[in-house]
Structure 1
Amino acid sequence: MTKRDLFRILIKVFGLYSGILTLFTVIPSNTVNLVYGFDILLLLVLLSAVFVSLGIFITLIFKTDSVIKFLKLDTGFDEERIDLGNLNNESILKLAIVIIGGFLIIENIPDILYYTIAEFRNKVNQFENTAFSVNYASWVISAINVVLGFLFVGNYKKLALYLVKS
């Protein structure tokens, strides 16, 4: 594997992870703020954040060679090839996708459990306890992240093949 291939993989993995975090964390949290108190400035900030994040995501996934060339990441090494044993581009991407999916699952399962228990406790007690309030938007976002994590872990081969080809 060449050093350019290694940087290409790392940049694509970072782009995938940042795109997922933007899509399922930044946008929903800012949208909830926008719903509670509509403000044109907040809308402009949200739209600019979405467009900047989308531009970064597209650049990191589809223009990886341009990023490597612009940042000059493949210069200054003694050897052209990096020996990683039996690992190739696809196997490194598979491992990274499984790790990203695992992070999504591990980070969001506690939130789902907390909100589920809080909702159950509120329903059983017949009144809403402010100590155990349920944020439904966060509950749904956490559930989506867990489902997405399971989809990543379950379909890591197909996703890795797609990223290698792009």
Structure 2
Amino acid sequence: MAELTHFNDQNRAKMVDVTQKDVTFRIAKATGQIIMQPATLERIHAGTMKKGDVLAVAQVAGIMAAKKTSDLIPMCHLIPLTGVDIHFSDDDKTTITAVTTVKTKHVTGVEIEALTACQIALLTIYDMCKAIDRGMIISNIHLVEKDGGKSGHFEFNDEA
């Protein structure tokens, strides 16, 4: 198991010093789902939710969240993002899946930015639909893949 790096010599939290790390291309992809009543998904498809276009607003919210991650996660570095993309798919029944991809050329990775974007996009769907469906479930949020940097390539293995 790798050594934890977010503690100083007094065993107190610190932001890791990345000054000496090389600038490299880095990418991370995260996913998650929101499960809802069939009627809720039908209204999203029909564009008849009172608050507007649910997926368009969720997409913008996710992008904004990726850009604000260091304001939310205390030890996260402020990273200049070069790309954020969010795709939604659904099963035509009850579940919307969000997939977020975040890119940078920097000294540290964008896994947390991808995970934050995914969660905020899904929370925005919940917020926009809660008036008709408070029982929605947000679940299965995880890192799908990351590449770049010293630790190299990671791909989620759902068989582990």
Larger radius of gyration: 1
TM (norm. structure 1) is 0.25
Bigger strand fraction = 2
